[in-house]
Structure 1
Amino acid sequence: MSLTSINSWLAFDIGGANIKAADGRGWSHSEPFAMWQDWKRLPDAIAHIKSLHPATHYAVTMTGEIADCFSDRREGVEHIVGSCSIAAGENAVFFYSVDGTLLRADKATHQPLQVAASNWHALARLAGSLAPSGRSWLIDIGSTTTDIVPLAYGQPIPQGMTDWDRLLYGELVYTGMERTPVPALVRSLPHRGSTRPVACECFATSQDAWLLLGGLPENATSNTTADKKPATRDAARIRMARSMLLEPASFTFADAIEAATAIVESQTLLIQDAMGSLIQNPLPEDHVVLSGQGEILARRVFDHMGWNPQTVSLKDVLGPELSRVAPAHAVAMIAQQRV
């Protein structure tokens, strides 16, 4: 396949909870999409986003193939590839592979594990272009997961290439700013001088902790929270009370903030453990490219480690909107041969 600058490109990052898109030149879009519930609507969702910013060619990276509506990754990849082909045309859409190439639809379905969970690799290539010398890392903390990718002279050098191997080596940590259930982070929480057990049910998530501590903005129209209620501090307070089976009416903001602080501390230590095993002898001259909405969490981890590396923030380089869709932006730039 010949990639030329004459073609206009639109790239998609199709995840399990969101679909993100970017053209590599400043336009971006993101919308919630619950793959595990709405997988049959995927062609329509892609076509809708395509209509907002038409292009001649489309590039796709994905993580949504792991959604439990699919029996395995092959079925998930086949569905995503097929949906994109329906929406954009089989001859106009290409799929990013973890070997750094773009595959046509037929090759992608025959090599499903090459295109499955590939967005981290595209993002790492973009990060490497911002830290082209010496030892560096990409740390990307999103809504669901944390990626820690080692780079050498601007090139990704991970130990694992599949998501299961990356999870094994600590390069993928299944915790993020929004979707991590509270019981996955703590088994008990402080409350007015005592410690109370947490119910092993998804009554509250990491999003609630970060809302309460000011690390995430409120969104009164959001319904992606644990109870489908607004993403506001008061609604987060109620969800936090419910996680300990306490009555919300008597659970104050001070109570909620105390619990949120403990949750964030546990999440910080979880990521610190992974980083500590990967980053041997951290040095001030090391470079780290920060990506995703969890930059505040990454910096907390650095503080815990006593590490003050040279940092490049994608939010500062790209702007807050584009940085939220950074893997899609990276794939578009790769398709345009600009990375």
Structure 2
Amino acid sequence: MMALDIGGANIKAAHIVGAGTAMHAWSHPFALWQSPGDLVRELAVVCGHAGAFDQMLVTMTAELCDCFATKREGVEHVLGAVDTVAAGRQVQVWSTNAGFMTPAQAHAHPWACAAGNWHALATLIARVFNDETVVLVDTGSTTTDIITLDHGDVRAVGLADAQRLASSELVYIGAARTPLCALGPSVQLIGTTYGVMAEHFATSADVFVLTGDCEEQPNCNDTADGRPLSRRCAAARVLRMIGADLELMAMNEAQALAHVFAISMRDRLAGAITRVIDVRMIDRIILSGSGAFLAQRAADRALPSVTQTHFADLFGKSASHAACAVALLALADHDATCRFMARRDRRGFCDVTSGDHTADTER
């Protein structure tokens, strides 16, 4: 089986290998909003890494891209591309109200399939930790999902994006693509309060390169100014947020400013976690996504005494970066779900590899 989580900036994929005792999981960068007509080609590239498979499982968030006039148009575009690449293979699409459905059903109920990836992951975690009250905090490159799971049931207040934004179950803070101007209106650096420029000068990727949470990527130019994702270029971008540069301020000041932005992101997520759980007693927090380190800091602040479990410790690091795609595989394969449940307290119980074509960091 091949599972795809098709987003606007990345395509996450997972593929069961052999008899299902191992899987590959990876993330493939693709700016769909810039080239929606290339989706078929990019999906073919992703599927080409998997080898043979006879079934495709799909979830998506790409329908939100502003290259589409409506979410319905976006869902139909994604489903059309999947149909082309599937080439006659069976396709199942995840929905937030009925689980897996056929492509025909998905076309008829596009809003049930729109932005449904979080629900697939939440459903899997709820089944695995079905004897506890759990909060799932999944931080990716762009957003964070915060979902309460109660003894096997997903207890989300909202299902659609607008509802989830209102309930704080969806927060537009991620570990790579968040524009720092969204963290204004001001920041305090070494005793001085600066207004934050309302310009797309820097992103959270720059922050976490400077804090050391993410590695430099000298060959990556997917940045606000098109320059490399190196420490020096990241410092210049972050300083530009307060009208400075590396001739006006030093590298250590850029690093200090990055920490200020990092704390702002942590605190906003911690506040959202507090609002979502309300007065519930929580047994465990599950942390996942390429930004799990940020999710952990927010959880430490919001619920410092609650047990934490990393998705990466259960399923592997690359699986955590493609957690929603991995969840689709587990939900479609009952035996796999049973294995996950039986061995949930063991580290590394499932051999999940990224493969040579995979980047360990998500953009």
Residue 225 of structure 1: how far off its partner (Å) = 1.8
Question: Equivalent of 1:35, from 6, 26, 32?
Answer: 32
> What are the equivalent positions in structure 2 for 1:181-260 lying under 5 Å apart?
181-191=179-189, 193-260=191-258
Q: Tell me the distance in 1 between the aligned counterparts of 2:68 and 2:107.
A: 15
* Equivalent residues of 1:178, 1:207 under 8 A apart: yes
Alpha-carbon separation, structure 2, partners of 1:159 and 1:150: 9
Pairing of 1:297-308 with structure 2 (within 5 A): 297-305=294-302, 307-308=304-305
Post-superposition offset of 1:243: 1.7
1:13-34 CA deviation, whole Å, 9 max, x = no partner? 0001000110244212211111
After TM superposition, where is structure 1 displaced by more than 6 Å over at least 4 residues in a row? none
Cα RMSD after superposing both structures: 1.7
TM-superposed deviation, 1:90: 5.2
From 312, 315, 321, give the equivalent of 1:315.
312
Residue in 1 that maps onto 2:165:
167
User: What code does the residue aligned with 1:17 have?
Assistant: A
**TM-score scaled by length of structure 2:** 0.86
Structure 2 runs not aligned, ≥5 long: 17-21, 338-363
User: Which residue pairs with 1:133 in the alignment?
Assistant: 131
- CA–CA distance in structure 2, aligned partners of residues 114 and 190 of structure 1: 43
State the 1:306 CA deviation.
Answer: 5.3
Kept in 1: contact 2:187–2:260 (CA 8 A): yes
Q: Which among 107, 110, 114 is matched to residue 108 of structure 2?
A: 110
Q: Distance in 1 between matches of 2:302 and 2:103?
A: 44
- The count of residues paired between Structure 1 and Structure 2 equals 330
2:332 match: 335
Alpha-carbon offset, residue 302 of structure 1: 2.9
Q: Of 11, 27, 36, which aligns to 1:19?
A: 11
Check the 8 A contact 1:237/1:252 in 2, yes or no.
Answer: no
Aligned counterparts, 1:137-152, within 5 A: 137-152=135-150
313-322 or 142-151, larger mean C-alpha shift: 313-322
User: Which AA in structure 1 matches 2:102?
Assistant: R
Distance 1:192 1:268, change over 3 A: closer
Tell me the alpha carbon deviations over residues 201-221 of structure 1, each in whole angstroms, 9 at most, x when there is no partner: 110011111111111122122
Q: Distance in 2 between matches of 1:322 and 1:170?
A: 25
Q: Normalized against structure 1, the TM-score is what? A: 0.92
2:90 to 80, 89, 92: 92
Structure 1 alignment gaps of length 5 or more: 1-8
Superposed CA deviations along residues 91-111 of structure 1, whole A, max 9, x for unmatched, are 522211112422222211111
Cα deviation 1:125-182 (Å, max 9, x = unaligned): 2222332212111110111111011101122111111111111111111111111111
